[in-house]
Amino acid sequence: MSKGTFLKKLRLPNVFVLLLIVFISCALLICINFFTIKILSATRAYINGESHYSKGQKDASRYLITYLYTQDQKKWKSYIEELKVPQGDGLARETLIKVGDNEAARKGFLIGRNDKDDLDDLVWLFVNFKNMPFFAKAIHEWNQGDTLINELFIIGTQIDAKIKHNILTENDQKKFLKQITYISDKLTINELNFLNTLGKGTREIKSMLIIMNIVFILIIICSVSCYYSIMVKRLLTSKKEIEAKNENLSLVNHELDRFVYSASHDLRSPITSLQGLIEITKLENDVDQIRDYLNLMSKSLVKQDQFINDIIDYSKNKRKQIIIEPVSLKELFDEAISQMMYIENASKITITKDLLIDEIQSDSLRLKIIINNLMSNAIKYADVSKQEMMISIKTYFKEGFHNIEISDNGIGIKDEFRDRIFEMYFGTNKNKGSGLGLYIVKEAVENIKGSIAVSSENNIGSKFIVTIPNVYGI
């Protein structure tokens, strides 16, 4: 696998990765906001519970002071009832610390006058955030408050005992009042610290969650933007590819129209010539003249055969799949030379071979088309006026490429024709070829990722060098 193909395959999932990031970010955003609401709801429940805790403690202190001076049993009962509120919360705290979520803890919160709909949030926040700095500090303040509540309960028990035994003195009243007032003041400070700690923690959580929301929203926006950008690029690329294909299709259609027109003309021309020669031959009695006519007919058929072969090569080169396999250049040249001995003057040409390389990895069909056409041209355009006609064949390896070199001392190519010899149906001499040969050669060379170069001088000769890659797929 080539490096480019490997990287392309790596880039393919980009769109799906972006969609996955968006999906995960949205899911996390939903979870974060869900927990944000749950945390804030639980914090609200604790603040609401603290208000009941504070009110119960203050009402209990007030009833206890009243009982201290009036000895009214109703006030004692009211004191006991109100003191149960902070005691219930204290029971819930101790139970959650020791054993976690259970019925006793929930019952304690209900005694503390917390709404039953808030119980799940109260327990969830305690169990999951008890080790968080802000909540751990709030729990510490809560614990100190419960200690003070317990002291208040002991003082109440002492007052009740003295009243029931009728031993309460004025000094006792002053002492107990001072103790109750001190505890109440401490509890007020403690409750305020609890509220401030929860408030500060809530603000920190809110700030953190806002930042996380912004981060995930930015991730989603960036991912969507990247996805949009990739899709736009793909659409533009597809549009350019379609435009390029349409342009190529137009060129192919133009080329096909030209090919059909020229092919029909070149196919009909020999037939018309044959028909004319046959009619003339019917009227001729001279044997030598008839022989000349038959010779002309033979040349016309040879030309027709060559043109049909060119069309077949053109079709194969266009449609046949490229197959890279071991190919013997020596065998291809030997086959081409043996098949071309029927061409006029072929037997008079001296062909030399210097094959420094033989077997290569390439496409045998294209190489055969290339070699047959170049050899055919070298023979057909030989200079019969020269004392010795020759064709030189060389194969060699140079700078990482295989090279096939075919040179001759034929009639050469005029300067004004040299840049056009690879065009379809361009021929310097229509009587000697169809004008398709070199066009097919160039396409065949390009199909196997090679290149072709030509150097030629009029009346001196021509040299064609075909360069073929040593290795494919890099």
Instruction: Tell me the average confidence (pLDDT) per consecutive run of 10 residues in the chain, 474 residues long.
Output: 44 65 81 81 87 92 93 93 93 90 91 91 88 87 92 93 91 93 92 87 79 83 79 84 82 62 54 72 77 73 64 63 88 88 83 91 87 88 90 92 93 83 64 66 88 90 92 62
DSSP state of 436: -
Element (H, E) at 257: helix 170-283
β-bridge mates for residue 300, sequence order: none
Q: What is the pLDDT of residue 2?
A: 46
What whole-number distance in Å separates Cα of residue 121 and Cα of residue 43? 8
- One-letter amino acid at 374 equals L
- Whole-model pTM: value is 0.49
Choose among 211, 193, 192, 195: nearest CA to 36: 211
Choose among 102, 137, 114, 107: nearest CA to 56: 114
- One-letter amino acid at 349 equals I
Q: What is the pLDDT of residue 257?
A: 58
Cα angle value 49/53/57 (rounded, 5°) = 170
What whole-number distance in Å separates Cα of residue 365 and Cα of residue 323? 9
Residue 22 CB partners (closer than 8 Å, separation 6+): 220, 223, 224, 227
What is the three-class DSSP state of 165?
Answer: coil
What whole-number distance in Å separates Cα of residue 185 and Cα of residue 145? 11
What whole-number distance in Å separates Cα of residue 241 and Cα of residue 52? 74
Sheet harboring 349-355: ordered strands across?
Answer: 349-355, 389-398, 401-408, 461-469, 451-457
Residue 292 CB partners (closer than 8 Å, separation 6+): none
Q: What is the pLDDT of residue 6?
A: 43
Q: What is the pLDDT of residue 213?
A: 81
What whole-number distance in Å separates Cα of residue 39 and Cα of residue 338? 94
What whole-number distance in Å separates Cα of residue 187 and Cα of residue 153? 13
Query: Residue 336, Cβ neighbours under 10 Å: how many?
Result: 19
Q: What is the pLDDT of residue 377?
A: 87
Q: What is the pLDDT of residue 3?
A: 45
Q: Phi and psi of 468, rounded to 5°?
A: -125, 135
Residue 385 · residue 418 · CB < 8 Å: no
Residue 143 CA to its chain's centroid (Å):
57
